[in-house]
């Protein structure tokens, strides 16, 4: 019998790519989506809700019935607002309600999505051993979810993995983010206003992010996991790579925008080694 996976955030920037990876396996996928949202293609079971973060643990117990693994990707993520939004508190509370329902339903595994911003960013190069020191409402709520779930779920005999995401770009990205802004300006032959671009970052295509998370889902990995490239690159170099697709580095206007005094100088992840997706899938299910 195929395992049943429950996923939240399947229609989002990251979720669409994770879903693509999940669908490569012989599993049944149950997606929780907002009312009025189109169901993701290929999903066998769809549960609709006005706001999944306002649902009770009893509601989640029913939704998690017969589920082997929960993949929780949903969170408030409006660019320019999410870092300090009060919605992060609702997301934290809703995540804990989901976890309580998952426990009551007897799920085997819970995989959540965290952020590199949970770490003490002063270290620059961040491993899963780097101390946590969140500095925004978003990162604090994510860190709180990780700390709570890492205690609650294992005690309920549920495997728990927390995928910390770094800087992402790619298909389906919000147009207000850096890469779509650059593509939009350069494709029109318009100048792109940027900061100095000296910031060092860890960028990874969202398609690869989705592949790595789906690998984690089908593995027995537990605890914090860095989903990143491990390759440092300056924002300037990243912008120049995009500009080279149009042959228009001359349109990049570095230093036009003011620097953000709170923006960390360097954020680069030390990747967590991942198993091959196929090997651990079989091992995990054979051990049930």
Q: How far are the Cα atoms of 83, 206, 236, 273 from residue 126, in angstroms, in the given order?
A: 20, 20, 21, 14
How far is Cα 129 from Cα 41, in angstroms, rounded to an integer?
A: 38
Task: Give the three-state DSSP class for 231.
Answer: coil
Task: Please give the distance of CA 20 from its chain centroid, rounded to a whole number.
Answer: 14
Query: Residue 127 forms beta bridges with which residues?
Result: none
Res 262: pLDDT:
83
Regions of the chain short of the pLDDT cut 70: 1, 277-288
How far is Cα 3 from Cα 178, in angstroms, rounded to an integer?
A: 38
How far is Cα 81 from Cα 99, in angstroms, rounded to an integer?
A: 26
Task: Give the three-state DSSP class for 156.
Answer: coil
Res 162: pLDDT:
99
Res 280: pLDDT:
47
How far the first Cα of the chain sits from its last, in Å, is: 13
Here the tokens at position 69 are: 């693994």
Res 279: pLDDT:
54
Which DSSP helix (H) or strand (E) runs through 170?
none
Query: CA neighbours within 13 Å on the CB side: how many for 22?
Result: 30
Res 276: pLDDT:
76
Res 1: pLDDT:
64
Q: 5 and 22 in contact (C-beta within 8 Å)?
A: yes
Q: How far are the Cα atoms of 8, 41, 75, 111, 188 from residue 249, in angstroms, in the given order?
A: 39, 38, 35, 41, 13
């Amino acid at each position: 019998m195929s395992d049943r996976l429950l996923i939240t955030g399947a229609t989002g920037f990251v979720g669409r790519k994770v879903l693509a990876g999940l669908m490569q396996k012989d599993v049944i996928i149950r997606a929780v989506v907002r009312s009025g949202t189109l169901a993701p293609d290929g999903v066998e079971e769809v549960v609709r809700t006005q706001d999944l973060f306002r649902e009770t643990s009893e509601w989640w117990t029913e939704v998690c019935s017969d589920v082997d693994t929960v993949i929780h990707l949903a969170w408030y993520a409006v660019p320019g607002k999410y870092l300090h939004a009060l919605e992060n508190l609702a997301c934290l509370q809703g995540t804990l309600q989901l976890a309580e329902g998952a426990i009551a339903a007897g799920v085997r595994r819970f995989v959540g999505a965290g952020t590199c911003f949970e770490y003490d960013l002063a270290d620059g190069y961040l491993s899963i051993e780097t101390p946590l020191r969140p500095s925004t409402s978003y990162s604090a709520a994510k860190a709180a979810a990780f700390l709570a779930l890492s205690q609650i779920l294992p005690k309920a005999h549920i495997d728990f993995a927390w995928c910390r995401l770094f800087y992402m770009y790619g298909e389906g990205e919000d147009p207000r983010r850096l890469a779509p802004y650059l593509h939009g300006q350069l494709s029109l032959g318009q100048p792109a206003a940027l900061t100095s671009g000296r910031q060092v970052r860890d960028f990874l295509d969202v398609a690869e992010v989705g592949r790595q998370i789906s690998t984690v889902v089908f593995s027995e990995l537990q605890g914090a996991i860095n989903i990143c490239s491990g390759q440092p690159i300056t924002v300037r170099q990243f912008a120049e790579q995009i500009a080279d697709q149009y042959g228009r580095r001359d349109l990049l206007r570095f230093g036009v925008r003011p620097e953000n005094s709170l923006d960390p100088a360097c954020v680069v992840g030390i990747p967590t080694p991942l198993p091959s997706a196929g090997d651990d899938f079989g091992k995990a299910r054979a051990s049930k």
